[in-house]
Structure 1
Amino acid sequence: MHVDVGNALSEAATPGVPRDALDRLDDRVADAHRRISEGMDAGEFGYAALNLPETVDAGEIRAAVEPFADADTVLTVGIGGSALGAAALCDALGDDTRTEFLDNVDPAGVRDLLDGIDLSTTVMHVVSRSGTTAETLANFLVVRDAMQDAGVDWTERTFVTTGPDGNLRDLADAHDLPALSVPDGVPGRFSALSTVGLPVAALAGVDIEGVVAGAREERDSLTGSLFDCPAYAYGALAYALDSRGAGVNAVMPYSEGLETFAEWFAQLWAESLGKDGLGQTPVRALGATDQHSQLQLYRAGPRDKMVSLVTLRDRPDVPIPSSDLDGLDYLDGASLGSLLDAEFRATEASLAESGCPSVRVELDALDPESVGGLLYGMEAACVLAGELYGVETFTQPAVEWGKTAARGLLRGDESLPETPSLRVE
């Protein structure tokens, strides 16, 4: 992962970060790095996620999924971090097997998905650390019932990733289901590079060893200075821009394979940093598509945004056929890749011209090593930002409140806080 923060400096953008402020901020980065390193060395909750490139066992994962290598479709039943990491990896790198994700309980969506796959050639991966997540267990029961109705022995087409206790672990033990353990001390949104995210990626044909190797290389780049560490440069600049008014972080990859990465990033950034009245709001965009929608707002709207532009240094290409249509001579000899690169450069220049801060994140290619490094780098950036904000990065009390309230409603407890009502019908 390569990071360029030049267009986020005060000489180029408003809000922007003065160069001398970076020097002062770097002292705080050094202190934060020491705390992060201590947490990693001790395997503390949350910080243990940054050890995954060393602790994850790719061989164990491959052995666990080998019985399902014949699957035409892999259906992940999970929510949030139990699904988004795997989805980001599969959408960026997978090509052998169809992957689907049941990460919502919208009845129409669940029905349409199940109607569109052959359950006899589908393997189901059920993921929940607690083994009690309402949405995950509900969807599992629906899929299990659909398999039984289709004459499929669900016990032969299911494996789980869960914690040591809970309904899902009990189910796996009762039916002798293959079961992987979620890693200790790793919150779900930081678990892409583990038994949570990698099994489905392996079934989808992803070189998970390459993903882990790329993450390990990014781990080795963690130093006590933002000037030497791409991950820390990104996290520190995002924090510094937010403190100067850029409370929105629009993540805009110029690769459709990274569109789901932006969804994964949104959960990572929002759930980790949104506490105590602090944190940036992540926004998802896609280049070049959203140049025709959101870019207008970034350039001419409120000065409360930074744009994270993610691009590839090398990509497959498709030539653009020559045409005799008027006004298209500039496409002669061009390719879709060169057009997309021109769109990227033009967007970056457009943001700079209008004074909107942007950060460029470059990958060498859309390959396992680069994607592994990107996911790890953004996790490290998030942990650093959490240290700078001074928040509890690895908890999610607001999410837990909502889960508890939803379970209460299902049990008949209607004692939610009263809220004002103004109906317009």
Structure 2
Amino acid sequence: MHVDIGNALDAEPRLTRAALERLDERVADAHDRIERGRADAAHGYAALNLPDTVDPDAIRAAVDRFDDPAAVLTVGIGGSALGAATLTDALGGDIDAYVLDNVDPAGVDALLDSLPLSETVVHVVSRSGTTAETLANFLVVRETMADAGVDWTERTIVTTGPEGNLRALAETHDLPALDVPAGVPGRFSALSTVALPVAALAGHDLDALLAGARDEADRLAGSLFDSPAYAYGATCYALERRGAGVNAMMPYAESLDSFAEWFAQLWAESLGKDAIGQTPVRALGATDQHSQLQLYRAGPRDKLVTLVRPRERPDRSIPETDLEGLSYLGGGSLGALIDAEFEATEASLAAANCPNVRIEIDCVDERGVGELLYGMEAACVLYGELAGVETFTQPAVEWGKRAARGLLGGGDFEEAAAVGEKRSLVID
């Protein structure tokens, strides 16, 4: 992973090289804390050890029983689904990959109606085995399969904790079951048993994914000027402290669109604490040059734009044309066009003094995606250390979960009472 922070300096809000050099002393201290956490496999920090602790052979063995499936359906939510979507959308694969991560009845029915159920592998992911959305959706999937005459027990793999409903279900029906890694929050679990089974089913090289992540782990160092991940995390932190409370993640590769969604959860859930943290915004180049760029360039000076692209990509030629005014396109390529769009956006933002960062990977392949995911996780952890927040907790999310369970009769939770206290001003 290559990170260029040059356009983040001396823009508005103003961040200087001298300020980053002063911040680098704190980066060194933060790196020491991170390394101690990794050495102890402490909660959260254990995520940064996954390239060395995950067992790809166990994952491959768990999915080997499924012969040439046509599709795989991940049933999960948040970190239990976004990692799988990121990997399969980025890398493609030999089978169609789908995610069921919402409980909108129309959406659930439409997805299940479109699946070749007898040729679909279902991967159910919940650490607790009690996640309401995930378990409700799985019950619907299971019923739909049974109604279609499909033996769901022959088409299901589970990733969960050591106990709970899913673990008991797997033991009762002899389902292949993988362990959610200990000490790894869901949003940091893309490079683990939570997402890698889907990558394995799609025919991807797990070893290369982990090798890319390991390469990025080896580049973590006591200075932001020696570590791409830390350079990005420290720059984001420093800009947010100066007023850039929005971080627009804008990949220039359609295959990385889900990556921007994954990043949004990682950044928001980890860093949105104690009235600080950047608000992640999802964008896609070049599409959102025609929708969001106007605001980034000419709106309030509260944004950092992160531009992501591969240095190498498949290409497609543009046919020659005799249409007036379009001859400059004919004979070129779509790859050259999207790279020109990338560089024009970067220059446009810089000319307007809007801070932006360029992140590049060599290619959108297993190694490059492994580097990118690990790099963003390490950047997030460093940001949390510098900000002094509890990076690995999500109390606001848990509050909402308790309220929902109380409303559904899943327990006596005082948070549910707050629903009745809603203020209303209805205009009909």
Amino acid corresponding to residue 427 of structure 2 in structure 1: V
Distance between the aligned counterparts of 2:346 and 2:264, measured in 1? 21
Distance between the aligned counterparts of 1:411 and 1:131, measured in 2? 17
Distance between the aligned counterparts of 1:332 and 1:399, measured in 2? 51
Identity %: 72
Structure 2: gaps (5+ residues): none
Identify which of 136, 139, 142 aligns with 2:137: 139
* Residues 127-276 of structure 1 aligned to structure 2 (within 5 Å): 127-276=125-274
CA deviation string 1:139-162 (max 9, x = no partner): 000000000000011101101000
Distance between the aligned counterparts of 2:334 and 2:93, measured in 1? 21
Matched, 1:422 2:425: yes
| Secondary structure, aligned partner of 2:263 | helix
**Aligned residue number for residue 405 of structure 2:** 407
Identify which of 14, 17, 21 aligns with 1:16: 14
**Aligned residue number for residue 332 of structure 2:** 334
Distance between the aligned counterparts of 1:281 and 1:349, measured in 2? 23
Task: Decide whether the 8 Å contact of 1:8 with 1:357 is kept in 2.
Answer: yes
Deviation at 1:305, TM superposition (A): 0.3
Deviation at 1:221, TM superposition (A): 0.3
Matched, 1:370 2:368: yes
Task: Decide whether the 8 Å contact of 1:69 with 1:203 is kept in 2.
Answer: no
| Secondary structure, aligned partner of 1:23 | helix
Q: Flag as ranges the 4+ runs of structure 1 deviating above 6 A.
A: none
CA deviation string 1:322-354 (max 9, x = no partner): 001110011132100000000000000000011
Amino acid corresponding to residue 418 of structure 2 in structure 1: L
CA deviation string 1:167-203 (max 9, x = no partner): 0001111111100001110000000000001000111
* Residues 5-84 of structure 1 aligned to structure 2 (within 5 Å): 5-10=5-10, 13-84=11-82
Distance between the aligned counterparts of 2:149 and 2:422, measured in 1? 48
Task: Decide whether the 8 Å contact of 1:94 with 1:201 is kept in 2.
Answer: no
Number of residue-to-residue matches in the alignment: 423
Deviation at 1:80, TM superposition (A): 0.3
Structure 1: gaps (5+ residues): none
Distance between the aligned counterparts of 2:73 and 2:309, measured in 1? 29
Distance between the aligned counterparts of 2:143 and 2:238, measured in 1? 51
Matched, 1:116 2:114: yes
CA deviation string 1:246-303 (max 9, x = no partner): 0000000000010000000000000000001010000000000000000000011100
**Aligned residue number for residue 98 of structure 2:** 100
Distance between the aligned counterparts of 1:324 and 1:229, measured in 2? 49
CA deviation string 1:17-59 (max 9, x = no partner): 1111011100000000000000000000000000000001111
Distance between the aligned counterparts of 1:305 and 1:222, measured in 2? 26
Amino acid corresponding to residue 248 of structure 1 in structure 2: V
Instruction: Label 1:69 to 1:94 Cα distance change in 2 as closer, same or farther (>3 A).
Output: farther
Task: Decide whether the 8 Å contact of 1:94 with 1:205 is kept in 2.
Answer: no
- After TM superposition, the score normalised by the length of structure 1 is 0.98
Distance between the aligned counterparts of 1:3 and 1:16, measured in 2? 19
Amino acid corresponding to residue 176 of structure 2 in structure 1: P
Instruction: Label 1:91 to 1:305 Cα distance change in 2 as closer, same or farther (>3 A).
Output: same
Amino acid corresponding to residue 39 of structure 1 in structure 2: G
| Secondary structure, aligned partner of 1:329 | coil
Distance between the aligned counterparts of 2:376 and 2:424, measured in 1? 40
| Secondary structure, aligned partner of 2:328 | helix
Task: Decide whether the 8 Å contact of 1:273 with 1:279 is kept in 2.
Answer: yes
Deviation at 1:207, TM superposition (A): 1.3
| Secondary structure, aligned partner of 2:123 | strand
Amino acid corresponding to residue 6 of structure 1 in structure 2: G
Distance between the aligned counterparts of 1:100 and 1:392, measured in 2? 32
- After TM superposition, the score normalised by the length of structure 2 is 0.98
Instruction: Please provide the CA RMSD for this pair.
Output: 0.9
Deviation at 1:129, TM superposition (A): 0.3
Distance between the aligned counterparts of 1:208 and 1:250, measured in 2? 29
Using the TM superposition, name which of 28-37 and 93-102 deviates more.
93-102
